[in-house]
Amino acid sequence: MPKVKVPRKSTAVDMTAMCDVSFLLLTFFILTAKFKPEELVAVDIPMSRSTKSFSDAITILLNKDGKAFITINESLTRLNMLDQMVEKYGDKYPELKTLTPLQKQFFSKIETWGGPVSELPKVLSMDGVQLQAWQKQMPGIPIDSSNNQLGDWVQAARYATNGDIKIAVKSDKDTNIQPVKDVVKDLTAKDIHRFLLVTTLAGPGSADAGAAKDDKK
């Protein structure tokens, strides 16, 4: 007798669950993604044949006008830096000692700072809109040899990280050489002789391309 043939049926796969998971993952990545923030200080850096990563560094920014600013990524480091500066300048500016924990947390969210220490209480009392307006016209950190606040900020960052932090200088290519010399002088005055110069990658035919390197004195 011939064998009984079982009719073949096509297999249907329900894709509903997979679509749900895909959209959930997509929604998760969209909501948790951190976009690159807008740079408060526009700096057109010079070119070089090689570059280095400065994500874990305190960056000193110098704009076209020679004004100095500092940028640091880690909020905890910024908070510890502020404590160091309050301890150093608290006697000279007593209002620094009145900063509340909420104001200090507010400072820890400010990635770029560019003003004298005396303005900290006023700035940290602003709301978000007022802060954005102030940041567009930041006066810069004093870099005079008689008022070396920039060197104190960098030193505070080193103390905050137990010395485990890189120092980078990012200057606009049109900046006068004198502010750059002043920054180097401020760093060496704090016994900081090793730092990084930030440049952008140049093409192979660029005549004025140098090398991004550690500057040792």
Average pLDDT score, the chain: 81
In terms of pTM, does the model score above 0.75?
no
Instruction: Indicate the number of domains in the chain.
Output: 1
Bin 66: left if φ > 0, else alpha if -120 < ψ < 50, else beta.
left
The answer, yes or no, to whether residue 153 has pLDDT greater than 90, is yes
Residue 124 lies in a domain: yes
Residue 92 lies in a domain: yes
Distance CA 91, CA 32 (A): 42
Q: Which tens digits make up the pLDDT trace of 106-130?
A: 999 999 999 999 999 999 999 989 9
Which one, of 78, 70, 75, lies nearest residue 169 by Cα? 70
**Phi and psi (nearest 5°) for 156?**
-65, -40
Query: 12 Cβ partners below 8 Å, 6+ apart?
Result: none
Q: Where are the alpha helices (DSSP H) in 16-99?
A: 16-32, 75-89
Poorest-pLDDT segment among 27-36, 49-58, 134-143, 168-177: 49-58
Which one, of 174, 173, 111, 175, lies nearest residue 143 by Cα? 175
Distance CA 86, CA 78 (A): 12
Residue 42 lies in a domain: no
Residue 121 lies in a domain: yes
Paired tokens of 142? 């004093």
Residues spanned by the domain of 131: 47-216
The answer, yes or no, to whether residue 201 has pLDDT greater than 60, is no
Residue 38 lies in a domain: no
- pLDDT band for 41, please (50, 70, 90 cuts): low
Which one, of 161, 135, 147, 128, lies nearest residue 70 by Cα? 135
The answer, yes or no, to whether residue 39 has pLDDT greater than 70, is no
Which one, of 153, 144, 154, 140, lies nearest residue 192 by Cα? 154
